[in-house]
Amino acid sequence: MATVTRFAPSPSGSLHLGGARTALFNYLHAKTNNGSFKLRIEDTDSLRSTEKSSNLILEGLSWLNLKFDSNIVHQSKNINEHVAVARSLLSNGLAYKCIHDKEFLNKHKNSNTKFVSEWRDKQDKIPNNTPFCVRIKAPISGSYVLNDKIQGEVKVNFNEIDDYIILREDGTPTFLLSSAVDDYNMKVTDIIRGDDHLTNSFRQKLIFDFLNYKPNFCHISLLHNENNQKMSKRDGTPSILSYRDNGYLPEAIINYLVRLGWSHGDQEIFSIEEIEKFFSIDKVGKSPAKFDAKKLDYLNNYFIKKKNNEEIINYIKNNQNLKINIDNDFFSDYLSLYKDRAKSISELIESITKIYDGNFNYSDEEIVILKEFEKFKNLIISKLSDIIDWNSDNVEKVINEVIVKEELSFKKIAQPLRLIITGCTFGPSIFKIIEILGNKETLKRIKNINI
C-alpha cells in the first residue's frame, strides 16, 4: 500500500515551529517512501477557526517549500460523514445517548475515576424529545497495546479511557470522531503527530476498529524551550512567518527542525536533497527536543554565507518585509564583508544601512572612548590624507604607524574609528570597511565627529 501522510492543523493562528516540524516529518516520511503528503485544515471549531489563520498556515508551508499532494481537505465540509459514522456506532451498540446535565458532569470533573454515564445501559429509559449527546462506549476492562514507530510498545488499560462525547447536543461532531473519520477517508497510512496526541490514539481505537482502519502510528516528542518547558504558540513563540520576516532562510529552518529529534551519524548540516535521501521516521528519538536559538542562528549564518550576493539581493527583493532603503551599489559593496558574520538577513541590512546613514547615537561609555580619541584625531586625519592609493592595506599601515609612534594599543585607535565609521564597537575588518567607504567620506566622518 502506498504511503500517505497528512498534516492537520487547526486554523486558530499562524504556523509555529512545533507545527512546522510535524508537517516536515510527515512530508519527509511520504517523500522517502514515494508516497503522498496531504493537508487537512481542521476548521470545525467555528469560534476559533479563521480564514486568515488558514491562509497564514498555507503561506508558512509554501515558504518552507513543503508541497502537499492533491486538494486541501477542509474538515468542516465532511461533517455529514462524521455524523453518519457516529450514528452507525450508535446503532451498532458501540456508542450511546447521554442526557446528563452540566452540573452532574462538573461534579465528576474532580474525580480520578473513569467516567461512565449512568445512561450507558438505560437507553430505553431516556424520555422522548430530551436533548442528548452521543458518547463512545469504551470497554470497561482489558487493555490496548499500541505499537508506535517512535515510542515503541505502549499499553493503556481501558479503565483509563472515558466514555467521551463524539456528538454534542447540537449534533456537531467532536475532534476525536472527525479526525479519525477523515484519516480513514483520506486513506492515511501513517499518522504522524505530537506525543500529546498519544492518549487520543487510544481513545480513537474503537472508531478505528469499527472502520476496520489500521494506520501506523508515529508520535513525535514535543519541542521544549530553553527552560525545558513545553513550547506553545500561546506563550509567544515566534511563528514561522516571523522568522521569514526577520531574515531567516527556509533552508536553515528546515535543517534546524529536522535535527530536533532526528540524526544521521554525526552530520549536522544537510541540503534538502540529503534530508529527503537519508530521513527515516524510525530514527526519530522519543525524548523531548530542546529549542536552541544559538544553534538556529549558526545554521542561518551558514546558509547566508553559502549564497552569493546576487542571491541575497534577490531574496530580499522577493520578501516584502525585507527592504533595502539605501543605494544598491553601496549595499552590494558591503555585502561580502558582513554576510560572514550576520545571523540573519535583517541583521545584514541593518548593519549596512547604519554605515550608509552615518548618524549614530552613542552611549555614555562610547562617548568616553571617543573623547579619548580626540587627542589623536588630527594626526589620524593627516596620515589618512597622505594616502595616495586608498586601500585597506595602506589604511592599516598608517594606523599602525600612529599606534607605534604614540605607544598605544591597537584597541585605543581601532575601537573609536569603528564607532565613528560604523556606529558599532564590533564587526568585520575596520580597514576593509574604510576602503569601501572611500577617503572623502572617511575623513569627513572623522573630522565631523560630534560628541
Please tell me the predicted confidence (pLDDT) of residue 57.
Answer: 96
Residues whose CB is less than 8 angstroms from the CB of residue 242 and which lie 6 or more positions away in sequence, other chains included: 14
Lookup: cell for 414: 581601532
Burial of 131 (0-12, 13-18, 19+ CB in 10 A): exposed
The sign of the CA dihedral 124, 127, 128, 129 is: negative
Q: What is the pLDDT of residues 344-392, one digit of tens each?
A: 999 999 999 999 998 899 999 999 999 999 999 999 999 999 999 999 9
- Architecture field, domain 364-447: Orthogonal Bundle (1.10)
Least confident window among 225-234, 294-303, 352-361, 430-439: 225-234
How far is 26 from 220, CA to CA, in rounded Å?
11
Please tell me the predicted confidence (pLDDT) of residue 228.
Answer: 77
Domain residue spans in the chain?
A: 79-167, 364-447
Lookup: cell for 42: 481542521
Q: What is the pLDDT of residues 141-169, one digit of tens each?
A: 899 999 999 999 999 998 889 899 999 99
Please tell me the predicted confidence (pLDDT) of residue 110.
Answer: 67
Q: What is the pLDDT of residues 166-212, one digit of tens each?
A: 999 999 999 999 999 999 999 999 999 999 999 999 999 999 999 99
For residue 233, is pLDDT > 70? no
Residue 232 pLDDT grade (very low, low, confident, very high; cuts 50, 70, 90): low
How far is 415 from 206, CA to CA, in rounded Å?
70
Q: What is the pLDDT of residues 118-143, one digit of tens each?
A: 888 888 888 888 899 999 999 988 99
Please tell me the predicted confidence (pLDDT) of residue 180.
Answer: 98
Comparing 116 with 402, which gets the higher pLDDT? Answer: 402
Burial of 360 (0-12, 13-18, 19+ CB in 10 A): middle
Please tell me the predicted confidence (pLDDT) of residue 237.
Answer: 74
On average, the pLDDT of the chain sits at 92
Lookup: cell for 29: 516520511
Please tell me the predicted confidence (pLDDT) of residue 234.
Answer: 58
**CATH label, 79-167, candidates 1.20.910.10, 3.90.800.10, 3.40.220.10, 3.40.50.1970:** 3.90.800.10
Please tell me the predicted confidence (pLDDT) of residue 227.
Answer: 77
For residue 167, give the 3-state DSSP assignment: strand
What does the DSSP assignment read for 95-126? EEEE---HHHHHHHHT--SPP--TTTT-GGGS
Spatial CA neighbour of 65 closest among 271, 328, 341, 350: 271
Please tell me the predicted confidence (pLDDT) of residue 1.
Answer: 78
How far is 89 from 95, CA to CA, in rounded Å?
5
How far is 307 from 329, CA to CA, in rounded Å?
18
Lookup: cell for 356: 550608509
CA angle 257, 318, 242 (to 5 degrees): 40
For residue 444, is pLDDT > 70? yes
Q: How far is CA 28 from CA 12, 56, 257, 280, 298, in A?
A: 25, 22, 12, 8, 23
Q: What is the pLDDT of residues 34-72, one digit of tens each?
A: 999 999 999 988 778 899 999 999 999 999 999 999 899
Q: What is the pLDDT of residues 209-223, one digit of tens each?
A: 999 999 999 999 998
How far is 363 from 22, CA to CA, in rounded Å?
45
For residue 235, is pLDDT > 70? no
Spatial CA neighbour of 5 closest among 149, 192, 181, 146: 192
**What are the φ and ψ backbone dihedral angles of 202, each rounded to 5 degrees?**
-70, -40
For residue 236, is pLDDT > 70? no
User: Which residue shows C-alpha cell 521516521?
Assistant: 281
For residue 316, give the 3-state DSSP assignment: helix
* E-only strand ranges, 76-189: 95-98, 133-136, 143-148, 152-157, 165-167
Please tell me the predicted confidence (pLDDT) of residue 115.
Answer: 76
